[in-house]
Amino acid sequence: MDIITVKTRPFGDQRPGTSGLRKKVKVFQQPNYLENFVQSIFDALDDYRGQTLVLGGDGRYFNRPALQTILRLAAANGVGRVLVGQGGILSTPAASCVIRKYGACGGIILSASHNPGGPEADFGIKFNAANGGPAPEKTTQAIYRNSLEISRYRTAGGGEIDIDRLGAARVGDMAVEVIDAVTDYADMMQQLFDFELMRPLLSSGRLSLCFDAMNAVTGPYAREILLRRLGAPAASVIRDQPLEDFGGAHPDPNLAHAGDLVARMHSDAAPDLGAASDGDGDRNMILGNGFYVTPSDSLAVMAANAQLLPGYAAGLAGVARSMPTSRAVDRVAGELGIPCFETPTGWKFFGNLLDAGKITLCGEESFGTGSDHVREKDGLWAVLFWLNLLAVRGESVAQVVRAHWRRFGRNYYTRHDYEGLDTGAAAALMDALKAGLPQLAGQRFAAGEILQADDFSYRDPVDGSTSSGQGIRIMLAGEARIVLRLSGTGTSGATLRVYIEKLESDPALQGQDPQVALQDLIALADNIAGIGRHTGRSAPSVIT
């Protein structure tokens, strides 16, 4: 094999965020930029030589040439075999499934998740460990250190691999196998859910759905599972063709970016279930006929009803949520008598809990839910969970959720995103807020008395590691909260996320618009943090 050592210099901006490295496509297209980061990954790993690596992505622009580059780097660095998703397509949860099923040492996933795609848009890359989950912080920190010191990378000569045809090939001494990862994932779903119950309901129209794949990676998976295996009508899946620019749309399954689906679910022709998934297939949005289910409520409803489904009939070991996610699932856990863990944002923090058997379900307010079947959040899994639940209960989405509120109370919840902020202004806002935390406790406002204010720190109960500076929490009387943090998923400027919630136990008061129910807390968040003063913004960019 012809191995070429190429001299290079560090770029200095390759620190992985909560889900790997995300930059504009043009940044990744710089000479040596992608190569530097991938070499830094290999230099951070132990015992990968001769082992199996999984490789694929969400099909966005630059996915295919990046994949060929990585194959050459993998061969030169001594990887034994690479499993590649056909066409370079591999959803993030399917990648986790394949890593675990075939005993791979890890996987490289090419995705910027829910960020836009195209030549002028975003690209991303992350490494998943042998458990199928995002690399732990010690690994991402090692990758970043390597990227600051790199002076050379190794690549192999030779032509490109045909990634569109299933079968075996070679890059030098390294075996390459182009696989149908859709089948592996679909088989796993069939083991978790009652396909025999759902199939006659979906095929007859007694249970109807509209799944929006958003021209992203889940289209092939949805066709195989929802249409072929469950017999749903072809019109049940829309925008099912993965496109490099996602059809010019923003592949983020929320009320702002899935407008056509939302409109359909509020029409006279609305199906029983509406759902969408994002660019790489790990996020989900759930809608009923004229009814939106917040991701926080979705997790809580899943936990309360999991034993009704075959894959979870034995009960839950525990649940976990990210700190900004509403505390709706906490009360479910309390009634079930199981642990509930509060972690920082980032799916990697659930990995140790899942591997240790401490939790079965977990979720984040950012449209991510999952279970111990893989080590990633899983959009299509969540849709199947809800379909199975509706089939078992024979109720509408709204009926299921409202019954849940009557039993556990409703956590009114909203997230306000201020996108594209000046990074200096955003940092100044957070610094000023942190400096004022000691004075907040005990202060009274129209929204209530502040009981506690802190900068969230997490100690992992499995390995004892500590993660500090994970977001500002302001706790108020009446189980109300305001949370503020800067997001690590954007590629331009800074994004400030403000999360607001309060508990309403009176069923007579559970039907308000969250923006109305939370208006005092929304005003208090702006007042305490000085959002308008620091950013010059009079309103958030996106409200969910």
DSSP state of 124: E
- d(C-alpha 366, C-alpha 95), whole Å: 20
- d(C-alpha 248, C-alpha 5), whole Å: 39
Q: Give the 3-state secondary structure of residue 485.
A: strand
Q: Dihedral of CA 530/532/535/541: which sign? A: positive
- Domains of the chain, first to last: 3-179 (3.40.120.10), 184-408 (3.40.120.10), 410-543 (3.30.310.50)
Q: Is 319 exposed, middle or buried (0-12, 13-18, 19+ CB in 10 A)?
A: buried
* Structure tokens, 166: 């299933």
322 has catalytic annotation: no
Count other Cβ atoms within 10 Å, centred on residue 522: 21
- H or E stretch including 299? helix 295-305
Q: Is 468 exposed, middle or buried (0-12, 13-18, 19+ CB in 10 A)?
A: exposed
- d(C-alpha 508, C-alpha 406), whole Å: 9
- d(C-alpha 277, C-alpha 367), whole Å: 9
pLDDT tens over the chain, length 544 residues: 789 999 999 999 999 987 899 999 999 999 999 999 999 999 999 989 999 999 999 999 999 999 999 999 999 999 999 999 999 999 999 999 999 999 999 999 999 999 999 999 999 999 999 999 999 889 999 999 999 999 999 999 988 999 999 999 999 999 999 999 899 999 999 999 999 999 999 999 999 999 999 999 999 999 999 999 999 999 999 999 999 999 999 999 988 889 999 999 999 999 999 999 999 999 999 999 999 999 999 999 999 999 999 999 999 999 999 999 999 999 999 999 999 999 999 898 999 999 999 999 999 999 999 999 999 999 999 999 999 999 999 999 999 999 999 999 999 999 999 999 999 999 999 999 999 999 999 999 999 999 999 999 999 999 999 999 999 999 999 899 999 999 865 556 899 999 999 999 999 999 999 999 999 999 999 999 999 999 999 999 988 8
Beta bridge partners of 55: 84, 108
- d(C-alpha 518, C-alpha 525), whole Å: 11
Task: Say which of 19, 111, 113, 298 is annotated catalytic.
Answer: 113
